[in-house]
Amino acid sequence: MHIKSGLLALVTLIFLTAALTLPVAAGLPLSIGESTQELPTLAPLLERVTPGVVNIAVRGHVAVQENPLLNDPFFRRFFGLPELAPQREFQAAGSGVVVDATEGYILTNNHVIENADEVTVALQDGRKLKAELVGRDPEADIAVIRIPAKDLTALRLGDSDRLRVGDFVIAVGNPFGLGQTVTSGLISALGRTGLGIEGYEDFIQTDASINPGNSGGALVNLRGELIGINTAIVGPSGGNVGIGFAIPINMARSIMTQLIEHGEVRRGQLGVSIQDLTPEIAKALGVPAGRGAVVSEVVKGSPAAKAGVEAGDVIVAVNGDKIRNASDLRNKIGLARVGEAVTLTVLRQGRKMTLVIKLAPRHRAKVHVEEIDPRIAGATLGPISRSSPLFGRVEGVEVLQAKPGSPAWSAGLRQGDVITSVNRKPVKTLNQFATQVRKAKGALLLNIRRGDAALFIVIQ
């Protein structure tokens, strides 16, 4: 989806990395009564909330962009260049929210910790602790990290489905790396989609001042409940102009639960192509104009096909929750787990009907390996392509890409390699590869086929 060109001429959507700021004042009015009268204040609320919001410092490496010819290892060897492409070190700052004080779980954005070699969490009491990655979901821009700490304060999770435009909210984070900062404002809009920021979008829009470094920080209501994770802004220069976006906590909570349990999000699929229900399409299909998602295609043999879904059906609710449009349906199905049964309310030729569908695993055409194990980040794997000389000769998964300078490249993986086993366990599919890597304790032993040669690669 794309934002209208007129909007793009005025503003630029950005993640909360560095830029200038334009202050926007918003909040509760102060009392101006007698000098002895106590003034309204958010201080008691913030004293409970701010210990649960942390500052995150990230250090990592990214490959320096070079001439594409230099990505070819044979070219580099021929001209006597170092085998590994040059890298540059980067540092970044963001925010996070403690959601489990006992286990030390912290919720943040994926883009805050992406490509990180080292993540340091600074607590309000001055402690600085190294964090480990629990799991991340690039499609929704959510990540969970963990710190081995005691005496933590966790924020109570609210219910983002009960939010209304006009509700007062407070943003807490680490803008520009200044340290913990609090701003206030209103909820300006709900259910913002089509911004092209994430794969799954259902943003809370707020005018509470959000700036670079607030990513992963808390958006709370006046009860001190966490109702969103601050994620992105609209601004011509990268600073706040009163348009910020937060991921609703109900969406973040669903993803967080799967990341903690599995290290990844196991999304199910219906097996349909969908589009928004426009007045013109509604009239042609003979259904009332309004909200909903139109099924334009049903994949043969998919869960939807088995349940009786047909092209032209209009899905108006999932598990009783009304559907606004195609993006809303995609979000609701994307948050459901593999094997979960969902109830669809469908309009077909003016008749309302109910269909129960058991979601199947999504077919993965390729996978970025950092989603599975950061030790081999930088590699993209997929089924063996027909263009591979090993197609039909061996079983395994092919390295579709290995970024120069990445951990995968440093470990010895190259484009075109076929991984046939992990720790001596044969792998024929991406799911089998992921399963064996996650089971491994300690080093990974990969059996590789490279052309007519076979070799082992050990990854510590």
Residues with active-site annotation: 111, 141, 215
How many CB atoms lie under 10 A from the CB of residue 130? 11
State how far the Cα of 88 lies from the Cα of 416, in Å rounded to an integer: 26
H helices of 210-338, in order, are: 249-262, 279-285, 303-307, 326-334
Are 106 and 96 in contact, with CB atoms under 8 Å apart? yes
SS (H, E, C) 124-137: CCCCEEECEEEEEE
Q: Give 419-428 contacts, CB < 8 A, sequence gap 24+.
A: 419/381, 419/446, 419/447, 419/448, 420/394, 420/395, 420/396, 420/447, 420/448, 420/449, 421/396, 421/446, 421/447, 422/446, 422/447, 426/395, 426/396, 427/396, 427/397, 428/395, 428/396, 428/397
DSSP code at position 337: B
Residue in the structure block whose two tokens are 């954005």: 109
Angle at 58 between CA 53 and CA 62, to 5 degrees: 150
Give the end-to-end CA distance of the chain in Å, rounded to a whole number: 41
State how far the Cα of 457 lies from the Cα of 409, in Å rounded to an integer: 11
Say how far residue 373 (Cα) sits from the centre of its chain: 16
How many CB atoms lie under 10 A from the CB of residue 83? 11
Are 277 and 314 in contact, with CB atoms under 8 Å apart? yes
> Which tokens is 1 given?
């989806």
Are 400 and 408 in contact, with CB atoms under 8 Å apart? no
State how far the Cα of 240 lies from the Cα of 212, in Å rounded to an integer: 8
